[in-house]
Chain A
Amino acid sequence: MSTLASPYRFSDQFYAGARACIPVCISVAAYGLVWGVLARGAGLSLFEVAMMSGLVFAGSAQFVALDLWTATPATLPVGPLVIAALIVNLRYLLLTATLRPLYPDKGLWRGALSMYLVTDENWAMTVGAMARGGGSVAFLLGGGALAWISWMSTNLIGYGLGSAIDDPARWGLDFAFTATFLALLLGMWKGRSDLIPWLVAALAAIVTSHFVDGSWHILVGGLAGSLVGAWIEVRKHVHQS
């Protein structure tokens, strides 16, 4: 694999990536339980739960799918389910684009297959490591593997329990994502030039989440903030030269 050229062994980086994702995987597990319970209520079979979590492996898209799911196959809205997954996951275009520097120029198609294991969680940990000069494909995959195991196992447990499980918010576990991502963001601070892009991203996301449900705020905020950041940076270089 591509990491042969790096000074690190694949397994070392793989475990380091998995360890780095433990804080966010607590949140993944809490929501995994809830999804499992709701999936049973929505009428999915155990086999369908395992298939969807194993193959689709995208939390927010799977929560949206439960809203659309019907227990009787004849009325199952196949087209809307697929389109909803597409729309909810559009933000991944931004996320995986930033992982490009981890991959060698040759064999990028094989790298594209490894994108299957990219989630918000291991993506965030990996770009955090990249900002400190680290990060590797193995690190990304280690975190992805841990997230996959956390998601799949808690989905199945939640499905098995079936009864009402507490809302993760009651235990503050909904905040585990937010707190970890906030700390990662602070770790990425490089100087005052980050302030305006981050504020633009935050404001655009807040406004979008106010008016539109789903994950649109991530895409809109991410696009707005990064484009403003690039625009400021390029304009500064023109003025200097």
Chain B
Amino acid sequence: MFTSPEALTAIVGMALVTIAIKASGLLLADRLPRQGFGAAWLRHIPGAVLAALVAPALVTGSPAEIVAAVATGGVFILSRSLFAAMAAGVATVYLVRLLLVG
């Protein structure tokens, strides 16, 4: 089976709504005022979104993610290297999960 008109319609539809939303954020930001509340709001979005991305992944009921988060933060503050911080986090979460299972 190669594909079907239904599958193509679904995929192209998914692609169109996805690019429409991504483009809308940029275009709507242009309508926000450059000072006052709108500007302050835009400045606070990156930190808030990153915190929202990270937080649920740390609170899983297992201590592995918390320990790994401390290791990640510690290595990043000492080295200022994202790659080193990522490697420390992955290695720590792997080892602690291994210890907890075994």
Contact = CB atoms under 8 A, between A and B. Distances in A.
Interface of A: 20, 22-24, 26, 44-45, 47-48, 51-52, 55-58, 61, 65, 73-74, 76, 78, 81-82, 85-86, 89-100, 103, 108-109, 111-113, 115-116, 118, 120, 124, 127, 130-131, 169, 171-188, 194, 197-206, 208-210, 217-231, 233-234
Contacts, number: 301
Interface of A is mostly: helix
B100 interface: no
Given A221-B49, A225-B47, A93 B10 contact: no
Contact of B11 (A20, A56, A90, A173): A56
Interface centre among B13, B14, B21, B72 (most CB of A within 10 A): B14
Contacts of A81: 10, 13-14
A73 B88 CA distance: 46
Contacts of B55: 201-203, 205-206, 221
Smallest CB-CB A-B distances: 8 pairs: A221-B52, A179-B89, A225-B48, A96-B25, A229-B44, A172-B94, A73-B4, A202-B55
B89 A176 contact: yes
Given A93-B25, A172-B94, A20 B82 contact: yes
